[in-house]
């Protein structure tokens, strides 16, 4: 399991596709429309003066705070159904993806949507969610008392805007959302329909859905490298749909996403904070906010870069045929375009090294995961400077055999562009300890082998060599050598020593 790809996130994202984005695009797009009014421009909707008016944000609130819903009328529903073919033709022209068959359309009630979501949350999703939650808490990416499942359910109720179901080949329109607000949703969702007709979305996405935590055999370096495949593919799918949706909103004013970089930047900035009516999202931890918006925000920027470098053929059909497989390629599209090849990181002999432990979880710590971790503890400016220096990483979580109540043990190995960046990341990780543990006191071995108190080094710029902390959940070791950083948390000294020798080839 890759940290960014929470199982719950995995089933939420494809279902409500624009959840967060429609709210934002309506606001950003409106300012563009007001600044570029063109009465002669053909528009899909407009005010009395003929100037285009992008849709207002959907006013979604938690279920318990909602006012009585106003359902769209049968006539409005009929008009909406007719617009599906129009908008799909627009999407096909923008993407170059052909329309192979008509898409089924269905008006859906809120109860039906909630029933659909409940049905599609399988038992294995719940199991993966529970496992992911504990690992995220160990890394400090979620508070220890946080209820992840409850938060995700609340987000669904707050944010749902519409969805395309690849199993039934149906675009589902919501009977409680005004017609004019559903048009950009359709531009997004019908892009998914075109993708589905071109590559078969379900099968295409499932190629990246390997759960390393459930594998009976130890994962190989290649397995670790490909653990982000589903995240990167999802960013392609959602990035394409976002690009088309934004093109749809800009078309009435004669602009495109290629000549509107300011709008793309505005959208990305607003995605991370949410709108005034998205309280659940705004109150969520940084990790969840960034993880939920990742395929939309970074996916959109990825698509813009591909459009600039190869036009719609490169940005749509070609990337679907040859998709990226890491979040690094999404966050830094130039690495994808250049065909960058980073050698897979060697992995330890998990079965041998953890012979006294029961495996709990394992997965990649990709460039996106590192970016969020650094942002949480040192801010976005440092994160933006540091994450491009990442060159690989994985984690393994386990508990001592016969002791299921013991603190979760963790080894985390990361590789960086050079020794200096590795030492800087080690220092950033060390800073997090004081916030993650009730007690975290650094110690060092004297020449006699005794352990003596050592001054705090949480604020140093570089953390070189080997450092040890005593915490309320056991010993933590952070060791940097060359471009590699090893973190061992709550593991016994023998296991940590074995890992050090193997990783650093001592």
In the chain, what percentage of residues exceed pLDDT 70? 75
Instruction: Say if residue 440's pLDDT is above 50.
Output: yes
Residue 116 confidence (pLDDT): 74
| 218 or 252, higher pLDDT | 252
484 assigned to some structural domain = yes
484 lies in which domain range? 350-504
User: Which of 58-72, 176-190, 235-249 is the most confident on average?
Assistant: 235-249
pLDDT tier, 124 (very low <50, low <70, confident <90, very high otherwise) = low
Same domain for 368 and 309: no
Q: What is the mean pLDDT of the chain?
A: 80
- Predicted pLDDT at 194: 97
| Pairing mode, strands 474-481 and 440-445 | unpaired
pLDDT, tens digit (0-9, with 9 covering 90-100), for 2-24? 444 443 333 233 222 333 333 33
Residue 279 — very low, low, confident or very high, per pLDDT cuts 50/70/90?
A: confident
Q: Does residue 407 sit within a domain?
A: yes
Which residue would you say has higher pLDDT here, 176 or 356? 356
Q: Rounded to whole angstroms, how far apart are CA atoms 317 and 337?
A: 15
Give the other-Cβ count within 10 Å of 244's Cβ: 29
Range scoring the smallest mean pLDDT among 335-349, 378-392, 403-417, 454-468 = 454-468
12/145 same-domain check: yes
> Is the residue at 343 inside a domain?
no
Q: Is the pLDDT of residue 269 over 90?
A: no
Give the least confident one: 179-188, 392-401, 418-427. Answer: 179-188
User: Does residue 207 fall inside a structural domain?
Assistant: yes
Whether residue 282 is found in the same domain as residue 397: no
- Say yes or no: 205 and 87 in one domain: yes
Structure-derived torsion over alpha carbons of residues 345, 349, 350, 352, reported in degrees to the nearest 10 = -170
- Within-domain flag for 344: no
Q: Between the CA of residue 20 and those of 26, 234, 272, 461, what are the distances in Å?
A: 11, 15, 10, 37
Question: Residue 2 domain-assigned?
Answer: no
Number of domains in the chain: 2
- Residue 394, pLDDT > 50, answer yes
pLDDT of 195 reads: 97
The tens digit of pLDDT for each residue in 19-28 reads: 333 333 333 3
Residue 389 belongs to a domain with what CATH number?
Answer: 3.40.1000
368 with 315, same domain: the answer is no
Query: Do 214 and 324 reside in the same domain of the chain?
Result: yes
**What per-residue confidence (pLDDT) applies to 405?**
92
What pLDDT score was predicted for residue 432? 93
342 lies in a domain?
A: no
Q: Are residues 373 and 289 in the same domain?
A: no
Q: What is the mean pLDDT of residues 474-488?
A: 96
Are 136 and 20 contained in the same domain? yes
89 plus 135 within the same structural domain: yes
Per-residue pLDDT at 455 exceeds 90: no
Residue 277 is predicted with a pLDDT of: 58
Q: Which residues does residue 440 pair with via DSSP β-bridges, in sequence order?
A: 471
Last residue of a domain, one of 309, 337, 365: 337
DSSP-derived 3-state class of residue 242:
helix
Which one of 273, 303, 337 terminates a domain? Answer: 337
Per the domain annotation, does 1 fall within a domain? no
Judge if 125 and 51 occupy the same domain: yes
Q: Which residues lie below 8 Å from residue 439, measured CB to CB, with a gap of 6+? A: 470, 471, 472
Boundary-marking domain end, from 278, 309, 337:
337
pLDDT digits (tens, 9 = 90+) for 135-145: 999 999 988 88
Indicate the SS3 state at residue 377: helix
Same domain, 390 and 300: no
Whether the predicted model's global pTM rises above the 0.85 cut: no
Task: Specify whether 316 is located in the same domain as 370.
Answer: no
Q: Is the pLDDT of residue 65 over 50?
A: no
Q: What is the pLDDT of residue 276?
A: 53
Angle (nearest 5°) at CA 1 between 207 and 491:
155
Indicate the pLDDT class of residue 315, thresholds 50, 70 and 90: very high
Contacts 24+ apart (CB under 8 A), 126-130: 128/1, 128/6, 128/7, 128/211, 128/213, 129/6, 129/7, 129/8
The answer on pLDDT for 392 being more than 50 is: yes
């Amino acid at each position: 399991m890759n940290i960014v790809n929470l199982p719950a996130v995995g089933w939420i994202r494809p279902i409500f596709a624009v959840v967060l984005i429609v709210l934002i695009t309506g606001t950003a797009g409106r300012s563009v429309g007001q600044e570029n009014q063109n009465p002669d421009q053909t528009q899909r909707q407009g005010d009395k003066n003929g100037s285009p008016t992008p849709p207002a944000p959907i006013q979604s609130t938690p279920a318990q705070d909602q006012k009585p819903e106003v359902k769209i009328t049968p006539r409005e529903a009929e008009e909406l159904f007719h617009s599906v073919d129009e908008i799909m033709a627009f999407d096909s022209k923008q993407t170059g993806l052909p329309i192979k068959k008509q898409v089924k359309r269905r008006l859906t009630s809120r109860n039906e949507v909630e029933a659909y979501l409940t049905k599609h949350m399988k038992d294995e999703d719940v199991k993966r969610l529970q496992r992911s939650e504990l690992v995220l808490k160990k890394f400090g990416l979620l508070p220890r008392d946080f209820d992840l499942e409850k938060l995700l359910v609340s987000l669904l109720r707050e944010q749902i805007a519409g969805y395309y179901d690849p199993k039934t080949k149906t675009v589902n329109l919501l009977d409680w959302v005004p017609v004019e607000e559903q048009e950009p949703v359709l531009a997004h969702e019908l892009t998914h329909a075109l993708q589905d007709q071109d590559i078969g979305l379900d099968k295409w996405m499932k190629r990246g859905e390997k759960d390393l935590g459930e594998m009976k055999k130890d994962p190989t370096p290649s397995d670790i490298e490909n653990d982000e495949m589903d995240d990167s593919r999802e960013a392609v799918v959602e990035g394409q749909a976002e690009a088309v949706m934004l093109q749809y909103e800009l078309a009435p004013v004669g602009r495109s996403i290629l000549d509107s970089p300011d709008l793309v930047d505005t959208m990305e900035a607003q995605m991370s904070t949410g709108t005034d009516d998205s309280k659940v999202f705004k109150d969520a931890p940084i990790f969840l906010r960034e993880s939920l918006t990742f395929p939309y925000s970074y996916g959109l920027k990825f698509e813009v870069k591909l459009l600039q470098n190869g036009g719609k053929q490169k940005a749509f059909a070609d990337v679907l045929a040859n998709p990226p497989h890491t979040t690094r390629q999404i966050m830094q599209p130039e690495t994808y375009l250049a065909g960058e090849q980073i050698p897979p990181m060697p992995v330890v002999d998990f079965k041998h090294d953890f012979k006294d432990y029961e495996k709990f979880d394992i997965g990649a710590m990709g460039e996106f995961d590192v970016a969020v971790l650094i942002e949480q503890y040192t801010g976005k400016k440092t994160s933006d400077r540091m994450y491009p220096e990442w060159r690989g990483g994985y984690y393994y979580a386990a508990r001592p055999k016969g002791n299921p109540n013991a603190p979760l043990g963790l080894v985390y190995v990361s590789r960086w562009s050079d020794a200096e960046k590795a030492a800087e990341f080690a220092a950033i990780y060390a800073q997090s300890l004081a916030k993650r543990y009730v007690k975290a006191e650094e110690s060092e071995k004297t020449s006699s082998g005794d352990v003596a108190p050592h001054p705090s080094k949480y604020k140093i710029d570089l953390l070189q060599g080997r450092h040890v902390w005593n915490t309320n959940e056991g010993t933590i070791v952070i060791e940097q050598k060359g471009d590699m950083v090893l973190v061992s948390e709550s593991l016994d000294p023998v296991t940590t020593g074995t890992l050090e020798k193997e990783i650093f080839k001592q």
